[in-house]
Amino acid sequence: MGDMGDNFRTIKKHSKERKATNMKSNLDYLNSLNMAYEVCNKGYQLNFYHSFGIVTFYPSTNKWILGNKVYYGTAINFVNWLEEKRKGIPWETQQMSMK
């Protein structure tokens, strides 16, 4: 195939590698904090339940969603945002089901 095909295959390969690296580092960080979350879509989506709603974090793309608002950042940014958002509200102590 031509040069464009080679370029697109290279971009796709780098994108997969970047997402795998993001996923590993984000999950390692979240697991080190012992945060309770529900795993969906084979780990590509994590749901955090809180009194202000469900926050969905996507560790491979460094993105999280609350309601209709989308935020971007690593797991460190996500945890800092979450701590600021909850302002001392205790975590729900119920056990999350793993899917």
The domain ranges of the chain are 3-86
Nearest CA to 27 among 72, 71, 60? 60
Q: What is the pLDDT of residues 12-59, one digit of tens each?
A: 999 999 999 999 999 999 999 988 899 999 889 999 998 888 999 999
Q: Is the pLDDT reported for residue 1 higher than 60? A: no
- What is the token pair recorded at 56? 């969905």
Pull the structure tokens for residue 43: 């780990």
Cα–Cα distance, 67 to 7 (Å, whole number): 37
User: What pTM does this model have?
Assistant: 0.78
Q: What is the C-alpha separation between 83 and 78, in angstroms, rounded?
A: 9
